[in-house]
Structures are given as structure tokens and as C-alpha cells.
Copies of this chain bind each other. A is one copy, B any other.
Amino acid sequence: MIAVDWGTSSLRIYRLDETGAIRARREAPSGIMSVADGAFAETLEAELGDWIDDAPIVMSGMIGSRQGWREVPYAECPADVSDIARLMVRIAWGKGRCAWIVPGLSCRDGASVPDVMRGEETQIIGAVAELPEGEAMLCLPGTHSKWVRWRDGRIAGFATAMTGEVFAVLRRHSILGRLMAEGNDAHDAEAFAAGLRRAGEQGGLLHHLFGARTRGLFGEIGETTLPSYLSGILIGHEIAALAPPSDRRSGPVHLIGAAALVGLYREALASCGRDSRIIDSDCVARGLFLLAVHLPSGSDDA
């Protein structure tokens, strides 16, 4: 089968054999935001190229959002692999081609404010072999980081933090950015650790952000290391608010995501005494395979 992880800014395609093992992979910057005039079918066919045959295609991520190919209603937490598979939607296009889109997940945080994910549910389903029986906590850092409670084979609930996006807008558009060097940010372990420590002090995030300005202004943190300090402040606040309390029973936090970012979270969790384990982010292909297996029988007539 063909497994497609189609997000806002990138497209990853895997060719899987009948056991779900990855035989080949492709990656392109053809995220849904780069697709003009709804030309999703054309984009997918172009990226598949010579891979096009009769193999079933299953897709997850923002491709199922309002801005994607087809808006697929969210499944609700708690949800297991078959709850999610049941709500997959089949789309068909020219020459008899078709594909399935995985729904996102929603949950209610204390029954008051809703929360949503699209794509992460598939990564988590694909990580099931790595998760313990009973309870586990996962963290999928990114533009919108997800903290996910796993219980008895289900996604029990989750909370999203806007950490990555807040970093990006402050970096680019606030007074903090003016004290930072142009170009790509290299990681500075010392400044990052200082930001993490700062997040543990009194005064709150909005005050700590201004402190990044004054420390830059006073020359205490240089223009190439200030981004790491800011990153430490933000990730430190995210972890303080959303990571489970560190006790012997809670087990490690399971991290899934881009290698560099996952490394930062692992460092941040360690600095406050919390264990973590990294799960390979190719688990999204495994998740798409398991969801395809759980497609309700006869559903290809849907």
C-alpha cells in the first residue's frame, strides 16, 4: 500500500509491503499550503510518479482539514485504532483512482474548551508496539505541540501548546527578534538551559519573555544565542504546565517528532528530572498501515 503523511508544509510518501514494512520513501515540500486551486489529485499523482498502481492509498494530516482535499470530521477521544478507522473517508477522482483520508481527533479539556489534532493520531497508532500496557504519556513537539494521554490501547485525551508558533512569531515579528542575528538559529545548549531555568522562576511567561529582551539589551546573552534562550523559556513553560508530575509510577514521556526538536524536549525533560524515550517518527507509516488493516469490511463501497 501507499502511506501518505500530508501536512501543512510537507508531504511524505511511503511504499509499504503486505506486512507494513517500509520498502521505499519520498519526501517533498508539497504541503497543502503550497497546493494551488485545490489541485490535490494532480499533486499526489505527480509525487507518486512511477509508484502509481492498484495499491490502496491512505493519507493522514492536514490533508483532511478545511484547507485540505476534503474536510473529514474529527473522531472523539477516547479513541482506539478501530474508532479512528471507522471514520476514515474515501475520495475518488478521475481514471477510477481513490484514496482514504484518516480523521483527526478532538477532545474536551475539562469539558469546556475543545482541542484538536490532525496527523498525530496516526503517529500514535503507529507507535502502539512501543507503548506500555496501561497508561503512558506522549509528547509530539512542533508548531503546535501535543501532550497525549494513552490508556489501555486508546488515546484518552490530549492538550495542545502553541509553543512552536509563539516562538516563530516572537522571533520574526516582536522586539525580541531585533536583538537576534538574522538567519538560521544554531542551538546553544548553555543559553537553552538558562531559559529552562528561567521558566522555573516566579513572574510568569509574559514577564520572562521581556527578560529575554533586557538580557539581550544588557549584553548578557548574545544575538546568536538569544534564540536558544527564548526557546528554553517557552519549552520550559510548556513542560511545567503539561508534563505529568515526575514520580516513579508515571514512566517516561514518549517523544515523537523531528530529531532536532525531540532532542531539545528530551534535554528539557531531563533538566526537570523526567525520563523520556524517543520513538522513530516513521511510526506514521505504521499507523497508516494499521488503520488500513482496520478499515471496516465492505467500506470500500462507502
Contacts and interface: CB of A to CB of B under 8 A. Distances in A.
13 contacts: A112-B198, A113-B198, A113-B208, A114-B211, A114-B214, A114-B215, A114-B220, A115-B211, A161-B207, A162-B213, A166-B206, A204-B238, A204-B241
Interface string A245-266: 0000000000000000000000
Interface residues of A, number: 46
Nearest to A144: B210
What is the count of identical protomers in the complex?
A: 2
Interface of A: 109-110, 112-116, 144-145, 159-163, 165-166, 169-170, 172-175, 198, 201-211, 213-215, 217-218, 220, 234, 237-238, 240-242
Contacts of A175: 165
Contacts of A241: 202-207
B162 A203 contact: no
A212 to B, nearest CB: 9
B203 A242 contact: yes
Contact of A215 (B113, B159, B206): B113
Contact of A109 (B169, B206, B211, B237): B211
A65 to B, nearest CB: 10
A166 B170 CA distance: 8
Given A204-B238, A217-B116, A165 B161 contact: no
Contact of A173 (B109, B163, B169, B205): B169
Contact of A161 (B116, B166, B204): B204
A201 B112 contact: yes
Given A172-B173, A173-B169, A198-B113, A234 B215 contact: no
